[in-house]
């Protein structure tokens, strides 16, 4: 399985990193080895001094598909979730400056947190969901899916032009503003509306 990640999907986050607003979705992949194992702490890798949390809504693909039209995209997932796209921001900045791929900064072991899944039937409107990240019980990121530049079904249409989607693939839909550095002993808790979907410790 693969993790398909969307970058720069919220205007407020594009502005905080002073990035250009993209004309097409920014897409990158993480390998399955980047998934943080359940109940394990996240270890800050020794090649970075500036690892950031990016809380993101997730979508789990339930059917094989290629060239999926937006109007059929809803048939390709039942579950949504919440995770963290951990990013070694210092390393990413160096790679970006040289026009190089981001994988070393985003696809390292443990860089993908995946929380519990919720059936989409629990929600009236997936394009109007609140989600948030608490760091040491303080609110650090909050987003609403209505603010995505590309909504879930548009992302599925777009990425499936390039990649065959397979059962179990997971899409990270991008982070809102409020990304920030994590430190040893931080505790990160993620919520969709008032449901807690993960709690992890940083080491
Ligand atoms: Mg991200």
Using DSSP's 3-state secondary structure scheme, residue 48 falls into coil
CA distance linking residue 15 with residue 177, whole number of Å: 8
Rounded CA gap, 195 and 101, in Å? 35
* pLDDT-based confidence at residue 21 (cuts at 50, 70, 90): confident
Residue 5 and residue 85 in contact, taking contact as beta carbons nearer than 8 Å: yes
Query: For the chain, what is the radius of gyration of the CA atoms?
Result: 16
Query: Which segments of 17-67 does DSSP mark as H helices, in order?
Result: none
Q: Which two tokens stand for residue 195?
A: 């449901």
Residue 19: pLDDT band (50, 70, 90) is confident
- Reported as a pLDDT band with limits 50, 70 and 90, residue 166 is very high
Q: How far is the CA of 75 from the centre of ligand 1 (A)?
A: 25
Which residues, by Cβ under 5 Å, contact ligand 1, an ion?
54, 85, 175
User: What is the sign of the dihedral through the CA atoms of 152, 4, 13 and 35?
Assistant: positive
Q: Ligand 1 centroid to 31 CA: how many Å?
A: 15
Per-residue pLDDT of 101-141, as tens digits, reads 999 999 999 999 999 999 999 999 999 999 999 999 999 99
pTM: 0.97
How would you class 38 by CB atoms within 10 Å of its CB: exposed for 0-12, middle for 13-18, buried for 19 or more? exposed
pLDDT score at 12: 87
Confidence at residue 84, expressed as pLDDT on a 0 to 100 scale? 98
DSSP 21: P
- How far apart are the CA of 69 and the centre of ligand 1, in A? 24
CA of 134 to the centre of ligand 1 (A): 17
Are the CB atoms for 3 and 108 separated by under 8 Å?
Answer: no
């Amino acid at each position: 399985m693969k993790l398909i990640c969307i970058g720069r999907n919220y205007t407020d986050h594009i502005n905080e990193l002073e990035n250009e607003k993209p004309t097409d979705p920014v897409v990158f992949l993480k390998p399955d080895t980047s998934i943080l194992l359940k109940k394990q702490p996240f270890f800050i890798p020794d090649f970075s001094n500036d690892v950031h949390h990016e809380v993101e809504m997730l979508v789990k693909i339930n059917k094989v598909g290629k060239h999926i039209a937006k109007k059929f995209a809803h048939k390709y997932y039942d579950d949504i979730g919440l995770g963290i796209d951990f990013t070694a921001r210092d390393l990413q900045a160096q790679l970006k400056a040289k026009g190089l791929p981001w994988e070393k900064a985003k696809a390292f072991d443990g860089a993908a947190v995946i929380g519990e899944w919720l059936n989409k039937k629990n929600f009236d409107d997936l394009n109007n969901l609140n989600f948030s990240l608490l760091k040491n019980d303080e609110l650090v990121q909050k987003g609403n899916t209505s603010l995505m530049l590309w909504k879930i079904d548009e992302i599925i249409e777009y990425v499936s032009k390039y990649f065959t989607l397979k059962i179990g693939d997971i899409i990270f839909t991008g982070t809102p503003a409020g990304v920030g550095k994590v430190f040893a002993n931080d505790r990160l808790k993620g919520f969709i509306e008032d449901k807690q979907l993960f709690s992890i410790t940083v080491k």
